[in-house]
């Protein structure tokens, strides 16, 4: 590791304050090398308990580890995921207009629930992608092979929910936040305790980064037991037992064919929601009601432009500015939509602009459906 001042990327981060902050962080990180070893050793020890003792013992130890390292002090704010989320399945053999076909696997068919990274066989879980690209990557299918639906979570319904953030806080701060902050003329120091991360949080920052990387290791082989899934699945169990609603985590898939996206883009982020068992219904109806849902109905032209969508969003926001009602449930997703378009507008997939690809055109159609729905509500 070396100073930013000696990096070939310096031209992109040319502010002296940025160099000073990262140099201070690098010094703190080098002084905490023992903490890096401790983080890996702690999780390795938990995995060994899983192998040699029991899943219960290992899960309890994992929860104690999370508490002791301060990894439970912050949960994801509802604003993070109060946006249009996507689910999909391979086309054929089902009613593509029935939203329940895109919801969790029915409880009566839980034997079909496979072994997944953050869920175990037989226990349904809802996985959402932040973009159509994300779900196509996760399902390893071309978008033309997929039937896609969108789910808009209610901001007010999830406002008090505990969502665990399995993210690289340090990396996101250095790569995404600090360049813009320093470019705007702000003067902040790594020693400022009022801002995180800082010198006092280096230990928990290291442990959180290590946990994120371990939980997102690519699986070498997939079968009835996947070693790389052991820690993530125990994390899920621990969160479930302690009243968490779900977790946010980055995709482990290859996005190398996407270029030019803004560094703030969250197109690759996923949300996993735990599905409580419903003793009466085959699906959790109460959970489904926390979402506004959208499916394709055959009326789509697939010739919408980003300008069309942005103009529609602007009209709704203009109405809201004159409103006396609290429209947060509806305006926050619109603002998130605008940011998504801004951050992805110049990106390309295989030299084709993102919103001119089949993936981007499909997103615009569903976003317009959401806007037309919200336009009727905001007044």
The reported pLDDT for the residue numbered 73 is 79
The reported pLDDT for the residue numbered 361 is 98
The reported pLDDT for the residue numbered 224 is 79
Triad 255, 261, 267: Cα angle to 5°: 60
The reported pLDDT for the residue numbered 8 is 54
Average pLDDT of the chain to the nearest whole number? 91
CA 86 to chain centre: 12
The reported pLDDT for the residue numbered 15 is 72
The reported pLDDT for the residue numbered 41 is 98
SS (H, E, C) the chain: CCCHHHCCCHHHCCCHHHHHHHHHHHHHHHHCHHHHHHHHHHHHHHHHHHHHCCHHHHHHHHHHHHHHCCCCCCCCCHHHHCCCEEEEEECCCCCCCCHHHHCCCCHHHHHHCCCECCECCCCCEEEEECCHHHHHHHHCCCHHHEEEEEEEECHHHHCCCCEEECCCHHHHHHHHHHHHHHHCCCCCCCCCCCCCCCHHHHHHHHHHHHHHHHHCCCCCCCCCCCHHHHHHHHHHHHHHHCCCCEEEEECCCCCCCEECCCCCCCCCEEEEEECCCCCCCCCCHHHHCCEEEEECCCCCCCCCCHHHHHHHHHHHHHHHHCCCCCCHHHHHHHHHHHHHHHHHCCCEECCEEHHHCHHHHHHHHHHHHHHHHHHCCCC
For residues 175 and 264, what is the distance between their CA atoms, to the nearest angstrom?
Answer: 9
The reported pLDDT for the residue numbered 14 is 59
* Residue 90 to residues 128, 139, 171, 367, Cα–Cα distance (Å): 15, 9, 34, 21
- Which residue ranges in the chain fall short of pLDDT 50? none
Q: Which two tokens stand for residue 164?
A: 């665990």
The reported pLDDT for the residue numbered 304 is 97
The reported pLDDT for the residue numbered 3 is 62
For residues 145 and 147, what is the distance between their CA atoms, to the nearest angstrom?
Answer: 7
For residues 263 and 379, what is the distance between their CA atoms, to the nearest angstrom?
Answer: 34
The residues facing 294 across adjacent strands are 150
For residues 90 and 144, what is the distance between their CA atoms, to the nearest angstrom?
Answer: 9
For residues 209 and 170, what is the distance between their CA atoms, to the nearest angstrom?
Answer: 7
Q: What is the pLDDT of residues 335-361, one digit of tens each?
A: 999 999 999 999 999 999 999 999 999
Angle, to 10 degrees, between the axis of helix 306-321 and the axis of helix 358-375?
20
For residues 158 and 128, what is the distance between their CA atoms, to the nearest angstrom?
Answer: 15
Nearest to 197 by CA among 172, 217, 163, 220: 172
Strands 163-165 and 246-250: parallel
Q: What is the pLDDT of residues 69-112, one digit of tens each?
A: 999 976 787 878 889 999 999 999 999 999 999 999 899 988 87
Q: Which two tokens stand for residue 229?
A: 């899934």
For residues 240 and 268, what is the distance between their CA atoms, to the nearest angstrom?
Answer: 24
Angle, to 10 degrees, between the axis of helix 328-344 and the axis of helix 358-375?
160
């Amino acid at each position: 590791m070396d100073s930013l001042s000696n990096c070939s990327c310096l031209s992109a981060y040319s502010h002296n304050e940025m160099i000073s902050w990262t140099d201070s962080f690098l010094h703190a990180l080098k002084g905490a090398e023992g903490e890096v070893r401790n983080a890996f050793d702690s999780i390795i020890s938990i995995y060994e308990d899983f192998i040699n003792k029991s899943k219960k013992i290992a899960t309890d130890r994992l929860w104690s580890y999370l508490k002791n390292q301060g990894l439970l002090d912050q949960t994801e704010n509802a604003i993070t995921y109060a946006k249009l989320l996507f689910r999909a399945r391979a086309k054929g053999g089902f009613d593509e207009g029935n939203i329940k076909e895109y919801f969790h696997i029915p409880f009566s068919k839980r034997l079909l629930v496979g072994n997944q990274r953050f869920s175990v066989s037989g226990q349904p879980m809802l996985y959402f992608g932040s973009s159509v690209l994300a779900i196509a990557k996760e399902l390893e299918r071309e978008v033309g092979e997929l039937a896609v639906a969108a789910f808009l979570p209610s901001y007010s319904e999830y406002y008090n929910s505990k969502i665990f953030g399995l993210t690289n806080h340090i990396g996101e701060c250095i790569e995404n936040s600090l360049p813009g902050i320093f470019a705007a003329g702000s003067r902040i120091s790594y020693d400022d305790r009022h801002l995180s991360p800082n010198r006092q949080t280096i230990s928990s920052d290291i442990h959180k980064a290590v946990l994120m990387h371990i939980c997102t290791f690519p699986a070498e082989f997939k079968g009835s037991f996947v070693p790389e899934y052991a820690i993530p699945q125990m994390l899920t169990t621990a969160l479930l037992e302690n009243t968490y609603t779900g977790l946010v985590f980055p995709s482990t898939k290859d996005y190398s064919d996407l270029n030019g996206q803004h560094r703030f883009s969250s197109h690759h982020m996923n949300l996993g929601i735990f599905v409580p068992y419903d003793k009466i219904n085959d699906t959790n109806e109460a959970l489904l009601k926390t979402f506004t849902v959208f499916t394709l109905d055959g009326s789509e032209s697939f010739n919408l432009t980003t300008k069309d969508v942005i103009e529609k969003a602007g009209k709704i926001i203009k109405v809201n500015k004159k409103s006396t009602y609290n429209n947060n449930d509806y305006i926050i997703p619109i603002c998130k939509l605008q940011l998504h378009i801004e951050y992805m507008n110049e990106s390309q997939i295989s030299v084709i602009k993102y919103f001119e690809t089949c993936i981007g055109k499909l997103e615009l159609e569903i976003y317009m459906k959401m806007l037309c729905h919200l336009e009727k509500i905001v007044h």
